[in-house]
Every structure is written in C-alpha cells, then in structure tokens.
Amino acid sequence: MRRAALALMGAVGALVLTHAQAPAPAARVACEVGALQQAAPAGTTITAAALVEAAAGQPAHCRVDGHAASPGNTVNFRLGLPADWNGKFYFEGVGGLGGTIGPLTKGLARGYASASTDTGHVASDSAWGTNRAKEIDYGHRGTHVTAVAAKALTASFYGRLPAHAYFNGCSNGGRQAMMEVQRYPTDFDGVIAGDPATGTPMQVGRAVFFQQLLARPEHYLPVEKIELLSQATLAACDGKDGLTDGLISDPRSCDFDPASLVCKGADTASCLTPAQITSVTTIYAGVKDASGQYYAPPFPKGHEGGPSGWRGWITGNEPPVVQPDGSLAFTGARVPSGFGLADSNFRFLALEDDAPGFSWRTFRFPQDLPRLKTMEQILSPMDPDLRPFRKAGGKLIVYHGWADPGISALGTLDYIEKMTRVVGGQAAADAFTRTYFVPGMHHCSGGPGVDQFDMLSVLERWVEQGEAPREVVASRVEQGKTVRSRPLCPHPSVAAYRGSGSIDDAARFVCRAPAVSR
C-alpha cells in the first residue's frame, strides 16, 4: 500500500493524484489486481487492473475490471480511477437491454471516479432471459450492487469516501436512474434520468401498434409517407406557440388530424390510405385499460420524420418483408430499434414462465396483462413515491425529448404529475426534482430541435451549492457550429418568445406558465 503520491512510470509517465481545488490524499491502494482485491468489499472480485495513459478526452487513470456478487449471479463492472480526482463518483447508465458496459469517458474527462455495468449479463448470451437472477439484475439490482462495490473501491483507492455520488443515463439508462431513486434512494446524491424507459408498459404499447402496422402491406407507412406526415403536423402546429420557427414547442396543443391526409383517389406519396391512417392513429392513441386509464401512453404529434424519428424506431429506414401469411416482418440487421426491443422483450422478458411461442404478435390486450405482472414489477420504474429519496437528501433531474419516437414523453409527464401529487404538490416536488421537456428532440438526441445541454453541471450546483435549477440553455449544433439555442424550462413552465431579436438566441426567450391549462 503506497501512502505517497502514486507515480506511474514508463509509457504512462508520472501520475500524481490531486484534487481539483486542493491536494487529494495519496492513493492508498496500488493499481494492481492483488492490492485492489485485498481492499475490495465482500462479494467483489477484481479480474483486471491497468494503468491507462492520458489520451484525447481521457485522463490518465487506473482501469479496474471486476464483478460484484448478487443472489444467484455476478454483475460485471468497470471502474476508472483518475489520477487527477475531483473527489466525487459518477455512474454511467447503459442503453437497450444492457449486456455491455457503458463508456467511462464522460465522467473521467471531468475528473470523476467513474463506473458502469453490464447489468448482470453479457449481450452474447442469448439465454440470459431464462435466468431469473439475471433478469432481476438487469431490472434494477445490478446497478445497485455495482454502485455499492465501485464506491467502496473508490474510497479504498483514494483513502477517503467520495464527497458526492451521481448517476446519469438516458433511455434504459434513464430507466436505471428511476429504479435507483425508487428502490435504492441512498445510492446517489444526484440522479439524471433522460428519456426514461418504462419497461413493460412501453413494450405493450409497441406490441399493439406493431400488430396494426405489420398486419398487412396496406397498413404499412413507407419513408415518403412518414415525411408527408411530419410535414403536415409541422404545418398544422408550428405556430401554436405564437412563433413559426420550424418547431412544435409543446405538442400537447397540437390538434392535427391524420384523416386530413386521406387519399381522395389513388394511393400516392402525397396522401394516406384509410389503413395507413389507422396505423398512425394507433401510434398516437396509446393503450387504455378497462378503467379508461392509459396503460401505455400516447405519442405526441410532430417531428415524426428523419432517420432518427419514426423511421429509426417504428417504421424502419428499410421496408419490412411480406411473409407467407400476408403479414409483414422486419428482417436483417437494420430493424427499427423499437421493433427489435419489443421482439426481444416478448420472446424472453415479458412472462414469468417464458412460454414458447409467445410474442408481440400473439399478445392480447388486455387479456394477457396478468401474465406480465411479475416481470412488470422487475422491469418497470412506476412507483411515484419518491419521498424516501427526498428524505435521503437526493436531487433528481428528468429530461425527455417531446419528439422521442421510442419512448413517449407523455408517459414521463404522467409519471411526474403522479409523483408531484404523492410527494405533496408542486412546491414539495420542486424541492428535490426538476423536469425538462425538449422541443423537437428525438430519442436522447437528434431531431430538428436543440439537443445539446449539460445537465450534470446543473445537478452539481444544486447538490453541492444549493443552487436550484432554473432554465437550462440547450443548443443545436451543425457541423461543429451552434446554429440555435433555446432555454429548456422547468416543467410546468414553457419557453415564450420575447417578441424581438433572433429566434435562434436563447436570450430572446423567457420561461413562463403555459397560456392555458394543459
């Protein structure tokens, strides 16, 4: 165990551990498997350790690979311990169905001890969904056991506990974030949940609209029809916020009717057939249960076009193939992301018993909902009671692209409104949460809106300095140049144009209450 500053010789050069504001204590543990294993918490196994030389966007650091034990499984993780440590811990969420460890670059570049996990399985294991322990670890537990192990290793390596711990993730990473604040409220001081996936309800919504979209060739929407739809929604709703700027700022005010595009005669690229209109309205509509409540939320209208819009998630950038029974199926490597995730979910994650032959095609709504209950509880972060997280002193920032074609922003809005009621109203929620909806942004990024913003700095100031978030400036960057900036306003406020100056300058907008009750 070295008590002097850790010097790394050879290709790495001299590596001295310092704090961003003041000298940090010398590393207490060498960047070696044996030393790290000796310092590891119970149930944690170190499999590799290496000194990594500084490179573009990445500081010199000790890279540690290992796994943490969970009941019936082990959860792989990677931990990066930078030479120039900022005294804090950062966890990067992972997308899709997990199975790969997320990159540590973002946290390391800011001086964080940084970790990520594969959530308890490897992507190459096609049978992982038959193992209940692996399903639970993917659902929520794998993130937790990794956080516990990685924070303990960080404390051992530097000789003191991290001053603060943060989680940041989008999509499935956003789902991980929400699981953390709901199930493990003391793991992190600050959490960022971007476009959070909802697990089972989200997949049920996909099954319902894919059953319609792929039932017959005449139901399908080719690329040109998606672009037609996107242009029509923009033309109908762009000016609803009082400003015609190529963005539908708040799609809740968009009353576009797809039937306005119905073909008056032959099917052409400039109209939708009745079957295609039914497909569009099915996607927009969401799915309601017997009580009239949404089980799967509707999708907002607007900005459906582009490769990262409906084409990337729902209808495909390449058309499906007609099957012998006349239905359609996406094949090959470039299936739309939403279809690929729904297909996998219904094959091996939807049911407790993984019944052979069960699929998104055979699923019946609402008859099959009871069969999904067990896995819904494992996968879906739907508990609106965040009072334990508030009591622990945690801070949560949620953001979601209004035009997200993969996960409905209206589902996030519904959750936030339920959470706000449970914790005691808007003032109580504002004491520890903020939510931002991003106009024109597709899934986590992309789309015609602003999609570049720094929520981590906002969260740091809130947790460390008590500076409650207000508007956050977001930018649209094209070819390395910022072409537009806008304020993201904390819900329920919305951005409004001041009436003069460039519409591409965030300073010309102000956050205010919506003009009408939503």
Active-site positions? 171, 404, 443
Query: In this structure, which amino acid lies at residue 116?
Result: S
Q: What residues form DSSP beta bridges with 395?
A: 190
Task: Decide if 92 contacts 101 (C-beta within 8 A).
Answer: no
For tokens 């992301």, name the residue.
Answer: 337
Q: Return the structure tokens found at 128.
A: 């992982």
Among 191, 193, 188, which residue's Cα sits nearest to residue 163? 188
Query: CA-to-CA distance for 496 and 253, rounded, in angstroms?
Result: 14
Q: What residues form DSSP beta bridges with 490?
A: 436
Q: Return the structure tokens found at 267.
A: 């099917």
Task: Tell me the three state secondary structure of residue 238.
Answer: helix
What is the distance of C-alpha 348 from the center of its chain? Answer: 22
Query: CA-to-CA distance for 414 and 420, rounded, in angstroms?
Result: 10
What is the distance of C-alpha 418 from the center of its chain? Answer: 20
Max CA pair span of the chain: 82
Q: What are phi and psi of 167, to 5 degrees?
A: -120, 140
Angle between the N-to-C axes of helices 274-285 and 200-213, in degrees from 0 to 180, rounded to the nearest 10: 180
Query: CA-to-CA distance for 73 and 63, rounded, in angstroms?
Result: 23
Q: Tell me the helices (H) and strands (E) count for the chain, helix number first.
A: 15, 17
Task: Decide if 456 contacts 482 (C-beta within 8 A).
Answer: no
Among 235, 214, 253, 257, which residue's Cα sits nearest to residue 303? 235
Task: Tell me the three state secondary structure of residue 308.
Answer: coil
For tokens 């918490």, name the residue.
Answer: 41
**Could you check whether the bond before residue 366 is cis, i.e. omega within 30 degrees of 0?**
yes
Query: CA-to-CA distance for 150 and 134, rounded, in angstroms?
Result: 19
Task: Decide if 87 contacts 165 (C-beta within 8 A).
Answer: no
Q: What residues form DSSP beta bridges with 192?
A: 168, 397
Identify the sign of the CA torsion 398, 169, 349, 325. Answer: positive
Our CA dihedral for 276, 280, 285, 289, rounded to 10 degrees, sits at 50
